[in-house]
Amino acid sequence: MTVNINALENFLNGQSRYVNRGRLLVKCPDGPGIVSALSKFLFEHGANIIESSQYTSDPEGGTFFIRLEFDCDDLMAKRSVMEGDFTPLAKEFDMDFRFAYSSDRKKTAIFVSKEPHCLLELLWEWQSGDLQTDIAFVAGNHEDARGMVESLGIPFHYIPANKDIRNQVEEEQSRLIEQYNIDVIVLARYMQILTPEFVEKYPNKIINIHHSFLPAFIGARPYERAYNRGVKLIGATSHYVTNDLDEGPIIEQDIERVDHRDHVADLKKIGRSIERRVLARAVKWHLEDRVIVHGNKTIVFQ
């Protein structure tokens, strides 16, 4: 197996730097005293808050969201006690909460078809150390990406796919996901529709890039339809996958201006650049626990 030295060094540096770094994400009914109670709890457990972001959906009876990032000496030895001690506070404020730890590096699987631009962006971000994850494997329904993936020491699995063998394909994908203990699945222009059964297995763990500024041009061939409609802006949308096609909670979007001189090929070329950066940002924020899903929306603490 080939080992990418730069990626390995980035991994080791990241591990040592963030070994005592934790995150606490909370969603609860809004009310007085929440921030004070959370700060006091972390202080009493020897934690120093280094980043805090919060949002209230409505100052009068809305929902309160907060992400706290903290540093705590010997955190790995303290985490179980800290989580147990948090339960009474969570009950008091009716909190939906989650602790996360930077040392628990998430494992990512990437699904790809023929177009490699989104995959290449993720690999570059990973190599540079800006994507704090282990890319456990890449699965493709075409062989095109094998060379670029295996040159970095990442396993590539070729799984031919079409609508007639969808269940068989997803059985193999699920087997790999379980084998590698995957935390997040990224669809990097993977041009296959997932079955409801597959999607339900991994709620809010499948991130897709759609080559349109949703809700415009849901489904196939959005650039062709955008050209026929004469749009002046094109965009891309990264979202969590649900069983409503291209309608899952949106994580990130971006746009660029176009005009009458841009034909379909031009729109696609411009769009690829947007897709790459939108997907990379969405994956990065998910890995850093900056996203809270609320219904069919997201709160993203950038």
Rounded Cα gap, residues 256 and 270, in angstroms: 8
Rounded Cα gap, residues 41 and 95, in angstroms: 14
Do 20-101 and 107-300 share a fold?
A: no
Q: What is the pLDDT along the chain (302 residues), one digit of tens a residue?
A: 445 555 555 545 545 567 999 999 999 999 999 999 999 999 999 999 999 999 999 877 899 999 999 999 999 999 999 999 999 999 999 999 999 999 999 999 999 999 999 999 999 999 999 999 999 999 999 999 999 999 999 999 999 998 889 999 999 999 999 999 999 999 999 999 999 999 999 999 999 999 888 878 888 888 898 999 999 999 999 999 999 888 899 999 999 999 999 999 999 999 999 999 999 999 999 999 999 999 999 999 98
First-to-last C-alpha distance (Å) of the chain: 36
> Is 144 an annotated catalytic residue?
no
- Say what the pLDDT of residue 8 is: 53
| Residue 165 DSSP symbol | G
CB atoms inside a 10 Å sphere around CB 91: 9
pTM of the shown model: 0.91
Question: What are the domain boundaries of the chain?
Answer: 20-101, 107-300
Cβ-Cβ contacts under 8 Å for 232 (sequence gap 6 or more): 257, 258, 259
CATH architecture of 107-300: 3-Layer(aba) Sandwich (3.40)
Specify burial of residue 190 (Cβ count, 10 A radius: 0-12, 13-18, 19+).
Answer: buried
- Say what the pLDDT of residue 1 is: 42
- Say what the pLDDT of residue 9 is: 56
Residue of 130, 164, 246, 266 marked catalytic: 246
Whole-number Cα distances in Å, 220 to 21, 77, 179, 191, 227: 42, 50, 32, 9, 14
- Say what the pLDDT of residue 6 is: 54
Locus of tokens 């969201």: 65
Q: Cβ(238)–Cβ(251) under 8 Å?
A: yes
Angle at 221 between CA 219 and CA 225, to 5 degrees: 100
Whole-number Cα distances in Å, 277 to 24, 122, 254, 260, 283: 27, 9, 9, 25, 10
Whole-number Cα distances in Å, 99 to 39, 61, 71, 285: 15, 25, 13, 16
* Residue 219 backbone class (left: φ over 0; alpha: ψ -120 to 50; beta: rest): left
Superfamily (CATH H level) for 20-101: ACT domain (3.30.70.260)
Alpha helices in the chain (DSSP H): 5-17, 34-44, 75-93, 117-127, 146-150, 166-179, 196-201, 222-229, 264-287
